[in-house]
Amino acid sequence: MTNYKLVFAITFAALLSSCGGNKNTSSMTKEEIIEYRVDTLLSQMTLEEKLGQMNQLSFSSIEALQPAIEAGKVGSILNTEDAKTVNALQHIAVEKSRLHIPLLMSRDVIHGFKTIFPIPLGQGATFDPALVQKGARIAAVEASSTGIRWTFSPMVDIARDARWGRMAEGYGEDPYLTSLMGAATVRGYQTADLSDPTAMAACVKHFVGYGAAESGLDYNSTFIPERQLRNVYLPSFKASVDAGALTVMTSFNDNDGVPSTGNTFILKDILRNEWGFNGFVVTDWGSTSGLIVHGFATDAYDAAMKSINAGVDMEMVSGAILANGAKLIDDKRISMGEIDRAVSNILRVKFSLGLFENPYTDETSPSVMYTPDHLKAAKKSAIESAILLKNDGVLPLKKSVKRVLVVGPLADAPYEQMGTWVFDGEKEHTITPLAALKEMYGDRVKVTYMSVLDYSRDRNTSKISAAVSAARRADVILAFVGEESFLSGEAHCLADLNLVGAQKEMLRALGKTATPLVTVVMAGRPLTIGDELAESAAVLYSFHPGTMGGPALAELLMGDASPSGRTPVTFPRMVGQEPIYYARHQVERPANENEVLLYDIPVGSSQTSTGCRSFYLDAGKDALVPFGFGLTYTTFKYGEVHISSSEVGVKDTLTLSTTLTNTGKVAGTEVVQLYVQDCVGSVTRPMKELKRFRRVTLQPGESQKVSFQLPVSDLAYWTYPMVYKVEPGDFKAWISPNSKVGTPISFVVK
């Protein structure tokens, strides 16, 4: 037994004997043993040591952190980068502190550690939870090899406003899709065996409602009433907690005036009492002290008190709890019970991860970074995340194409292609579209490259004319445009969603040539690309595809892979339509199909001459691209929808089915979607809600029956008064290719 295990075994035996802890654990379950170990250790801890476990620090240097770790004043460290550093810090905690409690090492591993996958919004576009789970597993294998055993992911904030830069980090606008993706990510990180040294504790964030920041402005207030919170913003967190997430992170926003880090209703009433969550709650960065800035606490003493009493267990870096906890106890402003609750939650996670038995990371094991399997999975994810928004037939590129002009600031931008929230991915490993195209075409095709713009915000139009000339000598133009990675992510909001810099001018000029223009967009959000859709022969949309984005996009463009991505968010025509999403409630004056718009309204029209309905005079009533939309290289026909019964009880299960046929000439993958509308409720209900989806791959001419099982209980929602139940009445269902189209079938819940 290596010395630290011996040290711990002796210490644990001493702990047991010193508090009558010689219980026979042989008949206990794994969970009971963990609780017993938690209680035994807790009974030995001083108040200072308890407060220490509640304290998370950001890595600075081993020397700077050593005194606090030795004194038992640190429970977790974030932002370490290598196993050697982690082990050095861990040796201090395990061998020099009084109780030898290991540290929990953590880092933001948001969409891959070294092998970077598409940003989560892109992974949402795959509508492939199994693939998302695989990506999370790979991220955990890579990150845990450096000693990271806790990551601040998945982010399951529902986001319906593309002005918000953090839309990039979640899985989109829909609670059902986000719930499946969040749960898949938790399973991928944690596996079924938490003590597996490659298991990494998930942290579901940001609890809760952060994506509803007013005006799409990050950190802004939210005003989400309880029913909307429960029906839209909480389900993805509950799905992730039910999947076993070990931790939850509080969000920066105040909702209806109450900052999440001081919000007892969400942290105790819902998370603990309703959901039975027994992991631990960590604040977001400095968010306990942030209560002072919110004007919700007067000082650090007050902020620490409000955080602890609301249900926070661990404070990320602001140190208010460590500094004020003892005085708060003396002043009876917090109880020791609250402290013990928090520390027990933290110790439970540490025991569950096997940190007491295996606190160290093997520094000698061969690297697991960028293995062929990891890169292959990352490429598959990038392929499945790409969304074909338009294709006049130019794609896939024909074998007759011999001269390809590649342009744009994202064609060969290895750093930008990885997208936001990448701390460990290395651009040297990124394969760009230009590199992939050259590799795949070899000398068979002449590939000419002109970036035209040096970066996405570049406003220098001087090279556009040369590109136009070059376009005239090409068989096709492949333009790679979009956003630098910096333009999305935390604190990076935009009030204008048009392509930045001179990208629009470049595309407009190229679109006027006779050479077909294929536009590939890499971005962290949906952009208002109506003009570019009109000017391009084809548009392929890729939410920052990561390390293998180049080969993925090249294979899609050349037909070696077939696009199957679907929009996980609604694309607006104009930014003024934000927030925009398909699951709008049924309003009193819905727009008609053919409203008269701005420039078609006769001069001098009287005020009510075009009616009074819900649409914009300039943007109209529709999105540019609806939720769930995506084309393939083939075509699909949906048969009639069949339903197992047109009248059901709340305990029944409906079967809804249709026959899907590939009516094209090549194989393709369709994402078949099931939507349901609750036509009448005790409150107004969404016009439709996604309830199931399935990826179906068919050969040319092949037909397949696609069936969905839908327990009627899945139609429950938080009603008026606030009760979660299915309300009898009329319903409609669609089985369709996206949220906009399809013929409904009716049924009644008795």
Which residues sit opposite 690 in a β-bridge?
675
Pairing of strands 653-662, 636-638: antiparallel
Q: Which is nearer to ligand GLC, 122 or 630 (CB)?
A: 122
Nearest approach in angstroms of CB 285 to ligand GLC is 4
Mask 204-233, x = binds ligand GLC (CB under 6 A)? -x----------------------------
Instruction: Map residue 430 onto helix, strand or coil.
Output: coil
Identify the CA nearest to 661 among candidates 641, 636, 642, 640: 636
Which residues sit opposite 106 in a β-bridge?
78, 150
Q: Which residues from 255-314 bind ligand GLC, rule CB under 6 A? A: 284-285
Give me the half-sphere count of Cα atoms (radius 13 Å) on the Cβ side of residue 116: 30
Contacts for 742 with CB less than 8 Å, ≥ 6 apart: 638, 675, 734, 735, 736
C-alpha span between 546 and 116 (Å, rounded): 5
- Indicate whether 338 belongs to the interface with ligand GLC (CB under 6 A): no
- Which residue, judged by CB position, is nearest to ligand GLC in the bound state? 152
Nearest approach in angstroms of CB 286 to ligand GLC is 8
Q: Which of 128, 284, 412, 678 is catalytic?
A: 284
Q: Are 441 and 398 in contact (CB under 8 A)?
A: no
Q: Which residues from 133-162 bind ligand GLC, rule CB under 6 A? A: 152
Which residues sit opposite 104 in a β-bridge?
76
- Indicate whether 164 belongs to the interface with ligand GLC (CB under 6 A): no
Nearest approach in angstroms of CB 381 to ligand GLC is 21
Q: Which is nearer to ligand GLC, 285 or 301 (CB)?
A: 285
Mask 575-614, x = binds ligand GLC (CB under 6 A)? ----------------------------------------
Among 74, 90, 108, 319, binds ligand GLC (CB under 6 A): 108
Nearest approach in angstroms of CB 426 to ligand GLC is 19
Sheet architecture: strand order including 203-207:
203-207, 247-250, 280-282
Q: Is 656 exposed, middle or buried (CB count within 10 Å of its CB: 0-12, 13-18, 19+)? A: buried
Contacts for 676 with CB less than 8 Å, ≥ 6 apart: 688, 689, 691, 710, 715, 731, 732, 733, 734
Q: Is 462 exposed, middle or buried (CB count within 10 Å of its CB: 0-12, 13-18, 19+)? A: exposed
Q: In angstroms, how far is the first alpha carbon of the chain from the final one?
A: 65
Q: Which is nearer to ligand GLC, 284 or 727 (CB)?
A: 284
Instruction: Map residue 215 onto helix, strand or coil.
Output: helix
Mask 718-747, x = binds ligand GLC (CB under 6 A)? ------------------------------
Instruction: Map residue 624 onto helix, strand or coil.
Output: coil
Amino acid at site 57:
L
Length of the chain: 750
- Site size for ligand GLC (CB under 6 A): 6
Residue located via tokens 């994402």: 671
Nearest approach in angstroms of CB 165 to ligand GLC is 11
Q: Which is nearer to ligand GLC, 207 or 277 (CB)?
A: 207
Nearest approach in angstroms of CB 78 to ligand GLC is 6
**Ordered DSSP codes for 648-688:** E-TT-EEEEEEEEEE-SSS-EEEEEEEEEEE-S-SS--BS-
Q: Are 217 and 253 in contact (CB under 8 A)?
A: no
C-alpha span between 330 and 309 (Å, rounded): 15
C-alpha span between 133 and 62 (Å, rounded): 34
- Indicate whether 490 belongs to the interface with ligand GLC (CB under 6 A): yes
- Is 284 part of the annotated catalytic residue set? yes
Nearest approach in angstroms of CB 260 to ligand GLC is 11
Helix (H), strand (E) at residue 292 = helix 290-293
Nearest approach in angstroms of CB 575 to ligand GLC is 24
Nearest approach in angstroms of CB 154 to ligand GLC is 11
Q: Which is nearer to ligand GLC, 282 or 300 (CB)?
A: 282
Nearest approach in angstroms of CB 413 to ligand GLC is 24
C-alpha span between 637 and 660 (Å, rounded): 6
Residues that bind ligand GLC (CB under 6 A): 108, 152, 205, 284-285, 490
As annotated, the active-site residues are: 284
